[in-house]
Amino acid sequence: MSAASRIPQIARRLLLAATAVTVVSIPAFAQDTMKLGLVAAMSGQSAKSGEAIVRGMSIAIDEINAKGGVLGKKVELVVRDDESNPAKGVVAARELVQREGVVGLFGGLDTPVSMAIVPFANQAKVPFMGVWAAGTPITRNGAAENYVFRVSAVDVLVDKALLAYAVKKYNAKKPGMILINNSWGESNEKGLKVALEEKGMASVGIEKFQDADVDVVPQLTRLKEAGADVLFMVANVAPSSQVVKSLDRMGWDVPIVSHWGPAGGRFSELAGPSGAKVHFIQTFSFNGNPSPKAKDIFAKLQAKYPEIKTLADVTPAVGIANSYDAMHLMTLAIGKAGSTDGSKIREGFYAIDKYDGLIKSYAKPFTPANHDALSSEDYIFTYFKEGQILPLTN
């Protein structure tokens, strides 16, 4: 069977897998609907990330539709599961645009998936909003006409924050890197090298590992023998947990300063008690957040999702907050455009003057030179405690 003949079957399978999510999350409004599409991990080890993204968008859409929708139409979210697979992500994005007729796309947790979708979005001139994946080249992709925007962390900024935290918290002088072997790891390897060079420092070693690896003791042993006094870790839930368990087997109690990959799923369960030692970056936390907006959104989440009883039940909050703000900014851009034409929506993003969001109050969040709405000033460090993500006080 040819690759071309397999694509419709894959698309149908993705459609069937996501149908329940779409119907349950956001009701359809027939011809009075303006469709927006989400391609995210809705299954597997990172399924909690997809769930959080859908919940954040659901609350935003409820608010938008309660005020009349956009351009006189109700907003509907159509969800597809990318299974953390770049090829499936591209198929899903094409199906959403070409068959479902979405006027804008949102991406999920995985940088490799978003990187695979970027060329299609730019070619099709469909606005693509990242809400989690932090790979620097997602928005800084070199396209003459760039249709990719983001409300999320950015690796090149995260890496500087990771280094600053490691130096301040642990007095790090000889850091090592343990990085997932994909485009996200590559993005952070470049960013960490630049951050270290700016501080007159260097890494004692850079080790790579695979998503499926269940033992990274050899890589960690080399970093230990090189004298690493702190580890920079970049990986999602399952591989990050393997790093922690490998350190336990070695008996090496070295500080870990991590990108936000562990937040996307069942990390504290998979990593065990030592997972609490990992300090990782986030863009938002409901815990310890006194803002009225945070309290209002949490109340709306409890009302819409009865299983949410306490703040512990909204983990990972970053997915909720990023996607909530991203949905509002996307619909503001459409409103500014006065059209569903992709080129006009792109200009609409630049026309947004301000927006009082959940993460922060945005002022001119996007310009032709900057498609990232968040800066390093919007980052906080957190850790897991009994399955809950809590902010660190210092």
CATH topology of domain 156-282: Rossmann fold (3.40.50)
Q: In terms of DSSP H, where are the helices of 127-236? A: 136-139, 155-170, 183-198, 217-225
Q: Which residues contact 394 (CB under 8 A, 6 or more apart)?
A: 169
Q: Say yes or no to pLDDT of 369 above 50.
A: yes
Rounded CA separation 159/194 (Å) = 9
- 171 Rama sector, left if φ>0, alpha if ψ -120 to 50, beta otherwise: left
Amino acid in position 180? I
Q: Kindly report, residue by residue over 53-78, the tens digit of the pLDDT.
A: 999 999 999 999 999 999 999 999 99
- Is residue 258 within 8 A of residue 278, CB to CB? The reply is yes
Residue 175 parent element (H or E) = strand 175-180
pLDDT in tens, 207-231: 999 999 999 999 999 999 999 999 9
Mean pLDDT of the 97-122 span? 97
3-state secondary structure of 363: strand
Percent of the residues in the chain that have a pLDDT greater than 70, as a whole number: 92
- The radius of gyration of the chain's CA atoms, rounded to the nearest angstrom, is 20
Q: Cα separation of 101 and 162, whole Å?
A: 40
Given pLDDT bands bounded at 50, 70 and 90, which one contains residue 394?
Answer: low
> In terms of CATH, what superfamily is 3-153+295-374?
Response regulator (3.40.50.2300)
- Banded model confidence at residue 18, pLDDT cuts 50, 70, 90: very low
Q: What is the pLDDT of residue 264?
A: 79
The single residue listed with the structure tokens 């949490």 is: 298
Over residues 147-168, the mean pLDDT reads 96
Instruction: Judge contact between 34 and 70, C-beta under 8 A.
Output: yes
**Alpha carbons 210 and 138: distance in angstroms, whole number:** 21
The pLDDT assigned to 315 comes to 77
d(CA 152, CA 321): 10
Residue 278: what are its φ and ψ, rounded to 5°? -80, 125
**Strand, coil or helix: 90:** helix
Burial class (CB in 10 A: 0-12, 13-18, 19+), 288: exposed
The answer for residues whose C-beta is within 8 angstroms of residue 376's C-beta and 6 or more apart is 157, 158, 160, 161
Element (H, E) at 116: helix 111-124
**Among 389, 237, 235, 239, residue whose Cα is nearest residue 316:** 389
Please state the pTM of the whole predicted model. Answer: 0.85
The torsion angle over the Cα atoms of residues 284, 290, 294 and 298, rounded to 10 degrees, is 110
If you average pLDDT over every residue of the chain, what do you get? 91
- Domain boundaries along the sequence of the chain: 3-153+295-374, 156-282
Confidence of residue 7 (pLDDT cuts 50, 70, 90): very low
Helices 317-337/47-66 angle, 10° precision: 40
- The amino acid at residue 204 is V
Q: How far apart are CA 385 and CA 277, in angstroms?
A: 9
Does residue 376 surpass a pLDDT of 80?
yes
Q: Are 226 and 236 in contact (CB under 8 A)?
A: no
Q: How far apart are CA 120 and CA 172, in angstroms?
A: 42
Helix orientation angle between 155-170 and 183-198, rounded to the nearest 10 degrees:
50
Three-state secondary-structure class, residue 141: coil
SS3 177: strand
**Measured distance CA(135)–CA(150) in Å, rounded:** 11
CA gap 207, 239 in Å, rounded: 13
**φ and ψ at 355, to 5 degrees?**
-155, 125
Element (H, E) at 110: none
Same topology between domain 3-153+295-374 and domain 156-282: yes
